[in-house]
Amino acid sequence: MPKSVTPATPPTPPSPVLNRLPPLLPNAQMFAPTTKKTFREINFSILNGEEGGKEDRPLIVQFCGNDPQQILTSAKVLEPYCDAIDINLGCPQDIAKKGKYGAFLQDDWELIYDISKR
């Protein structure tokens, strides 16, 4: 006797905003220096049109880091190509703890303020 087959349910389309987030979370420390252009190209290639077109908006780029100047420098590089810059304050991974970014920035509200006021 053949087994019954349940028809597949079509997947739920992703949220329009979440669908626009980049697949990688660049580290501002690696992205900011001009000597790290290869890192920039791997994580957000303007030359390859990763900023997309009108149908890819809004485009929000999220950085992780803890150096206000490096985050600002990184944000300025991408400012013409995106609609908003977000700072990761939620990553609970050990690498974030080691680097004092993500959720572990919340231990230093003055630093968060310094990052966000720039």
Question: Taking the chain, what is the end-to-end CA distance rounded to the nearest angstrom?
Answer: 69
| Catalytic residue chosen out of the listed positions 32, 64, 91, 96 | 91
DSSP 8: P
Question: What residue type is assigned to position 38 of the chain?
Answer: T
> Catalytic: 82?
no
Q: Name residue, tokens 């290639």.
A: 45
Question: Which among 61, 60, 70, 62 is positioned nearest to 114, based on CA atoms?
Answer: 70
Q: Which of the residues are catalytic?
A: 91
